[in-house]
Amino acid sequence: MLEPSGPPLVKYDAARTALAEARRVDEVKEIRNKALAMAAYARQAQDHQLIRWATEIKIRAERRAGEMLRELAEVGQRQRQSDGRPRKASHAVTLSAPTLRALGVTRRQSADWQQVAGIPEPEFERRLAAASDCDTPSPTTSPPRALTLRP
């Protein structure tokens, strides 16, 4: 999904397209994990632009996963901790709705990602742009704090 050869910008565009086309949480999580790996490689290579692109893809993937988790919970297609059963919804609900564990998502990730998904689109894009404008991080540090999208 994120394997095209070519310059990093091509891979960035491919990742954004893959995120837009993803229909399942596990697909989005795979894109996120590849972006994490790409950011780790970029830090080793001291490629600050690639660090920014990979971090942005990771954040966008987390936002998309948060949107999907919210949607699944709203229509009763994801089991909840409280009673272990999904809410009744339409006939399309499967007999065994997945849990966060089955999706490979921790409760903390689910909460964080849904919080990011709750940021209105214009505000999200503004924060992401502001984070990208931060000073270039050193190769031994993590991405700028602003990339966590906190106000």
Residue 90 covered by a domain = no
Residue 54 covered by a domain = yes
Chain position carrying tokens 């490689």: 41
Interval 65-80: pLDDT, tens: 999 999 888 877 665 5
Domain range for 17: 8-77+97-131
Read off φ and ψ for residue 30, nearest 5 degrees.
-65, -40
Contact 57, 15 (CB under 8 A): yes
Residue 148 covered by a domain = no
Q: How many domains are there within the chain?
A: 1
Interval 6-53: pLDDT, tens: 566 677 888 888 888 889 998 999 999 999 999 999 999 999 999 999
